[in-house]
Amino acid sequence: MGTVVEASAIATPGGDPSIGALGLADAAARACIERAHRTPDDVQLLINVGVYLDRNMSEPAIAALIQEDIEANLEPSPGGGQGTFSFDVRDGACGLLTAIELIDGLLASGAIEVGMAVATDADPEPGLTEGFGFPALGGALMLSTDEARRGFTRFRSATFTAYADLFSSAIDWRVENGGGRNVLTVEIADDYPARVLECAEVTTRELAEADGLELGEVDALFATASTPGFGQALAQRLGIPPARAASLPTGLDRAHTAGLAAALESSSLAETGTALLVSAGAGITVATAVYRW
Amino acid sequence: MAHWMALEGGRNSPKHGAFRSRFVGIGVQFPEGRLTTDELMAATRYHTDIELEQLTGVRERHVVGAGEDSYTLALGAARDALSRAGCTGQDLDMLIVSSISRHVGGMRIQLEPPMSVQLKRALGADRARSFDLSNACAGMMTGVFLLNDLVRQGRIRRGMVVSGEYISELGRNAAQEVRDVMSDQLASLTLGDAGAAAIVERAPDGAVGIEVAGFTTLSGHSRLCVAFPATIGPGTTMHTQAREIHVAGIEESVPRLREVLDAAGLSMDDIDYLIPHQTSARAIEKGTKELSSRLGGTPKNVVITVDEMGNTASTTHFVALWKYLSEGRFRDEDRILLLSLASGLEVGIVIFTVGDLVQRHGQGGGGHGNGS
């Protein structure tokens, strides 16, 4: 018995460039619920992990807005039942795996029976931000417990704080033209792709050793770090045939918090055998998990 | 039995945890500066005629000065909590940062890396799984809920949740725009700065600790309080429909409190201290009266610190807890109910027995909290 991914989904702006991070999150959540053949009221825990949000909203949790938009347990029903608890996790590109680990804990304790992790990023103020290179993308994963499956069998994460300066973003007040404005700036150092690869390899090997996993026997690798070619490069370093590394769809190879959901679009976890999930981002933090069908 | 709330503990818990969790260290860090309500209202851009102190009971609050920000407050509080708990950063399995404000380096609002990365490094919490979470003023309580879940299952032995709230800057921005008592930025004028940290660990066999923890989000009210980076200057502005959120909070918290008390086999009469979210002394007094009436029981004491601290956002419950511990007001056997009502609308409840927190905060047990 273990925590399994019932369904995943992503949402892109398509023909609506004005859609923001919340709209993408709502769309991904609704698609995920539909794919899982569930209703919004089934979702007892909703964690949003998106970082770049409409107008850089800091309150309330975006998860609460998503919950309202998808109409998940808005009001307690007179006959009882179970509601929805919503909050945000901020762990950069590792957010989805962090949320999965927290949902896994609450599923195991019996506090909830179904949880959904939602990720979303979109340029908060197109044309006014600096260095923002992530595609607008929402993603969602539905998780529950399956008596017949092992699901997630191990999580491991690490932070390499010596590299904390390689990936940063902040909002600063900038004085200009007699007035001023708050400006979001994203800065990613040139050597971030190389360092994040090194860090991810270290943590993934530690995970494999702790889990007794032979890396050469991994059937699928889902790895993202907001940088193109990361999955294939990590597979090569780990001795996993690159063909087993999920590729991100065209235009989404720099996907940020929803990157993992996009990787899962290219290859299903179902009947995969043994899968490795790896996310890496600012910190440098690496989050990893083993998933067994 | 199904609960509306996500619930951990109590008699009817879906699955009993293998272990009990307890608070083992509460830490705070207050900034050096103080600002009275009279001083703040004298600095408003427009002549307002607002009797803020009379309306809210807030007389003064701590305010950040040069060299202080969300990060320094969080770091000071974290060190204080570690000192009270008699442990070091190396002893933490998890580190959660739950601030709404994320000012690192003055007014700079940091999005990435999460603030937990810097705190992890500064505290030497090398083994700790670290991340930030965001849940408005329910952030620290959400962290406690998660740590309680993981400790009860034996997944971690000890974890810390910490917030550093530099939010008096919202009051500065509001002072430039508030014109009358109907302003949607009025609540920002009650805010004060503070850092707070709580360490949750596995309790020894037979020790008291957290009895039950529950949370839910009534998101039909999710847009009653929203905050964004300001357009008039550095920092943030917050827009609140204060009356609506107060009414919704009372209405929604009654059945949720009943559910959690029932799960624990308790009534309000069994609660020695109720610590609600600190928004306004008047609102707390009125709300508690209403809750007691509807629940058919009255807590023996209701803690109010907003008069001298202001509303310190996600830290309010733990600032109040620290203050009462430091003043020697609690007995080991006292049962505390922490009630969180926050933008979302988040309703969070934690019931615990104080236990040896009293000794840990006794004479000579201090750390870096610099009191009020």
Model pLDDT, residue B372: 36
Taking all residues of chain A, what is their mean pLDDT, rounded to a whole number? 94
For range A127-152, the mean pLDDT: 95
Model pLDDT, residue A17: 80
- pLDDT of B368 > 90? The answer is no
Which domains does chain A possess?
A: 2-148 (3.40.47.10), 154-158+189-292 (3.40.47.10)
Which residues, numbered 153 to 192 in chain B, qualify as contacts with chain A under a Cβ-Cβ cut-off of 8 Å? 153, 155
User: Which residues in chain A are contacts of B223 at CB distance < 8 A?
Assistant: 65, 68
User: Which residues in chain B are contacts of A60 at CB distance < 8 A?
Assistant: 135-136, 222, 225-226, 342-344, 346
* Percent over 90 (pLDDT), chain B: 80
- pLDDT of B369 > 50? The answer is no
- pLDDT of A107 > 60? The answer is yes
> Tell me: the pLDDT tens digits for A154-176?
999 999 999 999 999 999 999 98
The whole-angstrom separation of Cα B215 and Cα A45 is 10
Residue pair A5/A32 in contact (Cβ under 8 Å)? The answer is no
- pLDDT of B30 > 90? The answer is yes
Q: How many degrees, rounded to 5, is the angle at CA B160 between CA B157 and CA B164?
A: 175
Question: Of B228, B185, B177, B227, which is closest to residue A181 (Cα–Cα)?
Answer: B228
- pLDDT of B367 > 90? The answer is no
Contact flag B217-A67 (C-beta cutoff 8 Å): yes
- pLDDT of B242 > 90? The answer is no
User: Which residues in chain B are contacts of A168 at CB distance < 8 A?
Assistant: 110, 112-113
Classify residue B201 as left (phi > 0), alpha (psi -120 to 50) or beta: beta
User: Which residues in chain A are contacts of B149 at CB distance < 8 A?
Assistant: 105-106, 109, 111
> Tell me: the pLDDT tens digits for A212-234?
999 999 999 999 999 999 999 99
> Tell me: the pLDDT tens digits for A49-59?
999 999 999 99
B106 touches chain A (CB under 8 A): no
Model pLDDT, residue A79: 64
Contact flag B121-A164 (C-beta cutoff 8 Å): yes
The whole-angstrom separation of Cα A132 and Cα A142 is 29
Contact flag B118-A169 (C-beta cutoff 8 Å): no
For range A67-86, the mean pLDDT: 87
User: Which residues in chain A are contacts of B111 at CB distance < 8 A?
Assistant: 51-52, 56, 90, 169-171, 184
Q: How many degrees, rounded to 5, is the angle at CA A143 between CA A139 and CA A147?
A: 155
B110, B117, B345 member nearest A159 (Cβ): B117
* Alpha helices for chain B (secondary structure H): 37-42, 52-56, 70-85, 115-123, 139-152, 168-175, 242-264, 281-295, 306-309, 316-326, 357-360
Residue pair A107/A146 in contact (Cβ under 8 Å)? The answer is no
**φ, ψ of residue A247 in degrees (nearest 5):** -100, 140
Which chain B residue lies closest to A284 (C-alpha atoms)?
Answer: B113
Cα dihedral B164, B168, B169, B174 in deg (nearest 10): 140
For range B134-157, the mean pLDDT: 97
> Tell me: the pLDDT tens digits for B59-76?
999 999 999 999 999 999
- pLDDT of B1 > 60? The answer is no
The 8-class DSSP code of residue B312 comes to -
> Tell me: the pLDDT tens digits for A260-284?
999 998 877 777 789 999 999 999 9
- Residues in Cβ contact with A165 at an 8 Å cutoff, skipping those fewer than 6 apart: A189
Which domains does chain B possess?
A: 6-360 (3.40.47.10)
Residue pair B267/B261 in contact (Cβ under 8 Å)? The answer is yes
